[in-house]
Structure 1
């Protein structure tokens, strides 16, 4: 995604608009692929004027919840799924969309189960989510991804590093010329970066954000959300995200236009 997909998107936007630079705003994995892109293709720094990172994820050593529990078993998970011929996960399809529309309706007694499943992944904060939107949200979340995307994240949780995919010692030697995967070079992220983070974020933990900040060469803003209960998904779903986050993001971006 960082080496091929994101550069292709940027090139397409610039070609269609006739501009030389664009503004980049990423959330969660949308920040991860940005760090990867500039690490592996640093020439793209010239095409981005400024980057706003919401719930920024690079290092994942201090994550909480299911990812932390699953990380020690990452090799077993991938091997088992590959043996079953499954290379995609967390994709539910039309049938599950119909199921969630019924059982996750705010008037259904089962809505509480759907509600809690979401926050089991990214951190509990039930008061901020408008329950009537649950069927819509769960019809699109999760939307599916490759097994390797998930296992890559789990590898990073287990290793505490921010590096390329670990194929195993001998396969790494063939892919990278070394027994261990190389780390991404964050010194190439020369674009001005604004970090927007929360102390209650299970997936972008404050300790990991601080480590990321220390390695990025051009962090011009690091802003903690002023609410002790603001969790990872609140960046996109919270009813008060505008006041707590978006107004600050827009003010930050206006400084570069």
Structure 2
């Protein structure tokens, strides 16, 4: 995504619009991959008017969501998934996954599996979620991804370093010219950045967000969502996010346009 997808999307948009630069709004890994691109290919900094990073998944070493327990066991588990499911985490079994999601989360009183999933991944339910819309949300989220993508997120979390994929010492040496995967140098992200964070986020915690802010050379805004307990999922699922978050994003877009 950092090496191919994101550059292609940016260049395609700028080509077809005739613009020299654009605004980028990225939530979670969506923000993380942009930091990776701007650090790895600094020439793209001039193509970003303002990077709006919503709970960006860059540093995650202080994650407190229970999913961290699974992350510690991710390497052997994902190798099994890779073997039986052809490199995808949900892609080939999407219909089955959707049935399970809807059976457990289809009502305003979600069942045990649904409760456990939200606790595992988010530390609990979003605080402002419209539960009657759960079937709609879960028809699209989570979507399929690759084993390598999940493993890379696990590596970044456990190493507490924002770095490239770790292939192992021998392959690292062949690909990167060194035994360890190189770090993404956040100091090379010179485009202006607006950071949006929540104090109830247990995936990209306030402590890790603070580390990111301290590493960046051009921070235009640090915005704490003024809702106590605002979680990682609330950035996209909260029914009041338009009031407490999205209005500020629109304001910053106008300011930097």
Q: Is TM-score (shorter-chain normalized) higher than 0.5?
A: yes
Given that residues 90 and 97 in structure 2 are in contact (C-alpha distance below 8 angstroms), is that contact kept between their aligned partners in structure 1? Answer: no
Paired residues, number: 256
Counterpart secondary structure, 1:145 = coil
Q: Is the 8 A contact 1:55 1:197 kept in 2?
A: yes
Would you say the 8 A contact 2:172–2:181 is kept in 1?
yes
Corresponding residue for 1:122? 122
TM-score by length of 1: 0.92
Q: Partners in 1 of 2:123 and 2:245 — Cα distance?
A: 18
Q: Who is 1:94 aligned against?
A: 95
Q: Which ranges in structure 2 are unaligned for 5 or more consecutive residues?
A: none
The RMSD of aligned alpha carbons is 1.9
CA shift, 1:229, in A, is: 1.1
In the TM superposition, what is the alpha-carbon distance from 1:7 to its structure 2 partner?
A: 0.6
> Counterparts of 1:48-59 in structure 2 under 5 Å?
48-59=48-59
Residue 39 of structure 2 contacts residue 188 of structure 2 at CA under 8 Å; is this kept in 1? yes
Q: By how many angstroms is 1:230 displaced?
A: 0.5
Q: TM (normalized to structure 2)?
A: 0.92
Match of 1:72 in 2: 72
Q: 1:159 to 1:99 in 2, by over 3 A?
A: closer
The match for 1:10 is 10
1:131-177 deviation line (CA, Å, top 9, x unaligned): 11111111111101000101111111111111111111122111111
Instruction: Give matches, 1:47-196, under 5 Å.
Output: 47-84=47-84, 86-91=86-91, 92-106=93-107, 110-111=110-111, 113-196=113-196
Separation (CA, whole Å) in 1 of partners of 2:45 and 2:126: 39
Maintained 8 Å contact 2:126/2:231: no
Deviation at 1:78, TM superposition (A): 3.0
Structure 1 regions of 5+ residues with no counterpart? none
**Residue 7 and residue 207 in structure 1: after superposition, are their counterparts in 2 closer, same or farther (change >3 A)?**
same
What secondary structure sits across from 1:202 in the alignment?
coil
1:115, 1:126 within 8 Å by CA — same for their partners in 2?
no
**Cα 1:226/1:124, change in 2 over 3 Å:** same
Report whether the alignment pairs 1:202 with 2:202.
yes
More moved, 234-243 vs 86-95: 86-95
